[in-house]
Amino acid sequence: MTKGSATIATVLLLVCNLQLARLQGLIPERSPLSINDFVAPTAMGTEEVASTTAYYYVVKLYKISGIEKSTPAFVLSSRWALTGTYNISESDEAADYGILAKNGTGTMLVPVSRITFLDFGLALIKTCETFKQNSMPMTPTLMNDFSNAQSGYIVYYKGDVLYRRSVSIPSNCECERDDYLYLEHDIDTEFEACLAFDASFGACSLITDSSSTPTYVRSNALLVDGIGVAFLDHDHCDESYEEFLASPTYIKIEPYYPDIVGTADVTIP
């Protein structure tokens, strides 16, 4: 038996063991909630408009043509921003995107000149013009190792308005212990974080309204103590994009800091 075959066999055995444990009642079923359920538990807070003053370093990266596709990006220096690749394809060109940034009390559209992929989950965006807003400090981001459970916010754009929702962030170990998450995505906590599972009906409409003919796709970013720490990586929504099958995962910024410094003009903490 080859190494690859052995790995596949091991995964299949673990999946079968989990299914058997469910049948024996050792692991409860996590079934999607019906809209008629009396109580729909949720791990996310209520949607609210986010303060652009508090999140002064957040800008909107958007696809110029087609349906609404947006991703928050964090300004790192005068002409560089960091974002997630949930809404970006490696076949896309810089001219396909624009950035909506702050300009005093108003906004400005900033053309994108280059997209540099750091990993399948992160990308650096270079702009043709300089940002008129302050950059995000990196020191708090580098100090967050996700070793303990914590609270935070996810931020995302609806149109040109930045919104936020409070979230609970399990520790690295708690994410690895989540059997349902393991069935969807074998999380690597060196590079990824997870959120507490949200079982409410319609929770995935936060991201999109359809897998086949969506009218919008809104990625989001994870913040702790007002500072960006990760970007949406895997949503784990069902086929109708109404409910989460497992906790969504986020690609951490901290492991890629050397790559960020090596590419962008970022001040070393």
CA atoms within 13 A on the CB side of 100: 17
Rg (CA), the chain: 19
Q: Residues 216-242: what's their mean pLDDT?
A: 95
Positive or negative, the CA dihedral 195, 186, 89, 77 is: positive
The neighbour count for residue 183, using CB atoms within 10 Å, is: 17
pLDDT beyond 90 at 36: no
Model confidence over 72-101: pLDDT tens digits? 999 999 999 999 999 999 899 999 999 999
Model confidence over 47-60: pLDDT tens digits? 999 999 999 999 99
Confidence of residue 42 (pLDDT cuts 50, 70, 90): low
Model confidence over 139-174: pLDDT tens digits? 999 999 999 999 999 999 999 999 999 999 999 999
| pTM, rounded to two decimals | 0.84
Tokens of 4: 């690859």
pLDDT beyond 90 at 68: yes
Alpha helices in the chain (DSSP H): 3-23, 139-143, 172-177, 179-184, 257-263
pLDDT beyond 70 at 219: yes
Domains with residue ranges and CATH for the chain: 56-135+256-263 (2.40.10.10), 139-254 (2.40.10)
Residue of 221, 245, 224 lying closest to 233 (CA atoms) = 221
The neighbour count for residue 186, using CB atoms within 10 Å, is: 11
Distance CA 91, CA 75 (A): 24
* Angle CA 233–184–242, to nearest 5: 75
Decide the pairing of beta strands 150-158 and 80-84: unpaired
